[in-house]
Amino acid sequence: MKSLKFFALICCFLLFSCEDILECIINKRPEIPDKNFAIGSIGYFYSDYLISEIKNEPVDEAYDYFYEFYGDLPEGVDFYADHRTFTIEGTPQESGVFEFTIYLYVDPPVSYDEESEEYEDSLCSLSTSKDFSITIY
């Protein structure tokens, strides 16, 4: 067991900074919440949203959030992104089950370490994605 701890310690210093390993143990990363979007009806205004976050990060408002959308929405409905909030709204003109994927990319706040003279990146990952669907009757 001691040799395993020693090996981990050596890897920590040779391959990564210990801070990077600690950050990935803490698992700071962007996260899109699990969500069942509301069911909508043709001809009636539809609106629903989700709010993403940085998991295990108390100041996730300091990050920049960028969304990409791939898939289908009913005619008359569109999506909008405003910082952490991703909104789908409009008046659906067709019925069906519409499947799509939301991709989230984040930029961490710029943090410069004077001692190492490097910019710190404290996330294990800068992006994530999740599949969703909306049903319109």
Confidence of residue 32 (pLDDT cuts 50, 70, 90): very high
pLDDT given at position 26: 66
pLDDT given at position 62: 86
Label the pairing between strands 53-55 and 96-107. unpaired
Check whether 15 has a pLDDT greater than 80. Answer: no
Question: Phi and psi of 87, rounded to 5°?
Answer: -120, 140
| Whole-number Å distance between alpha carbons of 71 and 81 | 16
Mean pLDDT of 72-78: 97
Closest to 93 (Cα-Cα) out of 41, 39, 36: 41
Backbone CA torsion sign across 72, 83, 33, 127:
positive
Label the pairing between strands 96-107 and 64-71. antiparallel
pLDDT tens for each residue of 83-114: 999 999 999 999 999 999 999 999 887 766 66
